[in-house]
Amino acid sequence: MSIGINFDSDWDNLTEAALKKKPQKMELRPWGYFNILLEECNYAVKRLVVYPGQRLSLQRHRWRDEHWYIAEGAAKVTRDSNCFMLYMGDDLNIAKGSWHRVENKHQMNLVIIEVQTGDCFEEDIERKEDDYGRVH
C-alpha cells in the first residue's frame, strides 16, 4: 500500500515544510545551544549542540528521564560514577535522579538528540559542578 510520498525525492520538502509549520526555539548556553524540536505536556525533544572543548554541568533531574542519541561527533559521558565514550549512532538512557554530564573533547560540534519524558521544564536541573558558575 502506497501513501503517495517518495521519501527519496520528497524528504527535503517534507522537512522544510515541518520546520516552517512550527519554528524551532533556540536556547543559547555557554557550552553551545539547543533547539526545542517538539514540546508537549509530558515529553520534549531537543537537539543539543556542544561546541568543541565544552561540557555541560554535572547535573541531575528530579522529575524527568532523558534519552540521548548521538547524531554527530563523539561524547565523553559521565553517568553517576561511570565515565565512557559514545559515538555517532550510540544512545543512552538517563534515569531521573542520576548525575550526568556530557563533554565534547573533539574538534567538531557534538550533536545530541535528547528525548525527555516526565515533567519536562528547564528549571528541573540541580547542578553539582559547573564550568560556568551556575551551581545552585
List of domains in the chain: 24-129 (2.60.120.10)
Vertex 46: Cα angle to 45 and 51 (nearest 5): 160
Match 565523553 to its residue by C-alpha cell: 76
pLDDT in tens, the chain (136 residues): 445 555 566 666 655 655 565 657 789 999 999 999 988 888 889 999 999 999 999 999 999 999 999 999 999 999 999 999 999 999 999 999 999 999 999 999 999 999 999 886 667 889 999 999 998 6
Phi first, then psi: what are they for 78, rounded to 5°? -115, 125
Q: Are the C-beta atoms of residues 111 and 73 closer than 8 Å to each other?
A: yes
4 grid coordinates: 503517495
Note the pLDDT of residue 101. 98
